[in-house]
Amino acid sequence: MTITRRDVLLGATATAALVPLAARAQTSEVVIGVIYPFSGGSAQQGVDAQKAYETALEVINKDTDFDLPLAKGEGLPGLGGAKVRLVFADHQADPQKGRAEAERLITQEKVSAIIGTYQSAVAVTVSQICERYQVPFVSADNSSPSLHRRGLKYYFRAAPHDEMYSAAMFDFFDAMKKKGTKIETLSLFHEDTIFGTDSGNAQAKIAGERAYKIVTDIKYRANSPSLSAEVQQLKSANADVLMPSSYTTDGILLVKTMAELGYKPNAIVAQDAGFSEKALYDAVGDKLEGVISRGTFSLDLAQKRPMVGKINEMFKTRSGKDFNDLTSRQFMGLIILADAISRAKSTDGEKIRDALAATDIPGEQTIMPWKRVKFDEMGQNNDADPVLLQYIGGKFVTIFPPQAAIAEAVWPMK
């Protein structure tokens, strides 16, 4: 039986009737909840996310001269210049903690919407609470494909999901093969939460469709203390490409274990996550010259769109880092959400939800190499075009697709 958005909405309406929330009148301040890990092993992601959201907040609340929604003028014009205030909550990478924090933000902090969450497993529970209370949830940086297919009416994701990212990887493999590069066998390596599981499934499906042979498919326990046995399997299989889907601490352990056991694949093409994080390259970057990761953001775009470089500098002043695939999605997520609240001319959840559903922002009015931001009936933007980035000389350069690339891929890895 297929669960539709209407079915979930009816259930949510019945539940919400038990805990009615007064429609929020127009106000001089709009409160948005931001849920991330601010403690534990993923705390750095939360710290970086906070800097990204504070950068977006400056664009929204102050008069900045960028070609972005809400950049010109102060505050939200649809609400008489009301300013946005963010309330940050720590989910500690725990889905149940995320559920509790979402409920607290809605019932106590009176937020008009919630954005988050880094881990897809946490997005599952947070979005369910938002649906129950009819409060919009913007999934800024979660990439699990199943998230938008649960029939939720209040769920929105502007960025690509892992099926879209994986398709871009295989488009790249096809293009390399046409140039004479040998790419026939693949090793999949993914952690066991919804992120890794969905990623591995998407890659296995596309590999089958395009006649690539998976010689080993390893699902490992997230935050495992040792990956020696798994790396031995990878080394024995010796595939043409290793495709990891791992968060930062697991990614560091993987690379260190590969070095210890003398495993050097021809190529690593990663599903972002830890492989887009500065912490990973600070720890093991010397072993990753030539690694490729998918992404949605390319700083190279600043050459064509100067505001991308200027906004990156604003973020860098706060964080000491350039935008990466995660922080760029977080920045844009808040801009898109605030724009919808302004167009809704209300802090009422249903009106904001309808405004999000009506969003249509040209790609040129984002910091991304996307065609546009427009949500389908499931809340997914299908016009968010992924890119592939290669780590060369201590920085990432765009190598695919051709219209976004500024360099040819180095293959094999050094």
Q: Residue 359 is inside which H or E element, if any?
A: none
Q: Do domains 5-160+304-373 and 163-295+387-400 have the same CATH topology?
A: yes
Report how far residue 131's alpha carbon sits from residue 138's, in angstroms, rounded to the nearest whole number.
Answer: 12
Break the chain into its structural domains and give their ranges. Answer: 5-160+304-373, 163-295+387-400
Class of the CATH-defined domain 5-160+304-373? alpha beta
d(CA 170, CA 153): 32
- Look up residue 194 and give its two tokens: 């919804």
Q: What is the pLDDT at residue 170? A: 96
Q: What pLDDT does 2 receive?
A: 46
69-76 long-range CB contacts below 8 Å, 24 or more apart?
A: 69/335, 69/336, 69/338, 69/339, 69/342, 69/361, 69/365, 70/335, 70/338, 70/339, 70/342, 76/30, 76/338, 76/341, 76/342
3-class SS of residue 240: coil
- Name the CATH superfamily, with its identifier, for domain 163-295+387-400: Response regulator (3.40.50.2300)
Predicted local confidence at residue 26, as pLDDT: 52
pLDDT tens for the 414 residues of the chain, in order = 445 544 544 454 444 444 434 344 457 899 999 999 999 988 999 999 999 999 999 999 999 989 999 999 999 999 999 999 999 999 999 999 999 999 999 999 999 999 999 999 999 999 999 999 999 999 999 989 999 999 999 999 999 998 999 999 999 999 999 999 999 999 999 999 888 898 999 999 999 999 999 999 999 998 889 999 999 999 999 999 999 999 899 999 999 999 999 999 999 999 887 887 888 999 999 999 999 998 888 888 888 889 999 999 999 999 999 998 899 999 999 999 999 999 999 999 999 999 999 999 999 999 998 999 999 999 999 999 899 999 999 888 999 988 888 899 999 987
The reported pTM is 0.83
Q: Please report the pLDDT score of residue 1 as a whole number.
A: 45
Give the list of residues 6+ apart from residue 342 with CB closer than 8 angstroms, or none: 69, 70, 76, 77, 78, 79
Q: Provide the pLDDT for residue 351.
A: 98
Query: What is the C-alpha to C-alpha distance for residues 73 and 88, in angstroms, rounded to an integer?
Result: 25
pLDDT the model gives residue 168: 93
Q: Where are the beta strands (DSSP E) in 29-82?
A: 29-36
Which tokens hold the place of 29? 């301040």
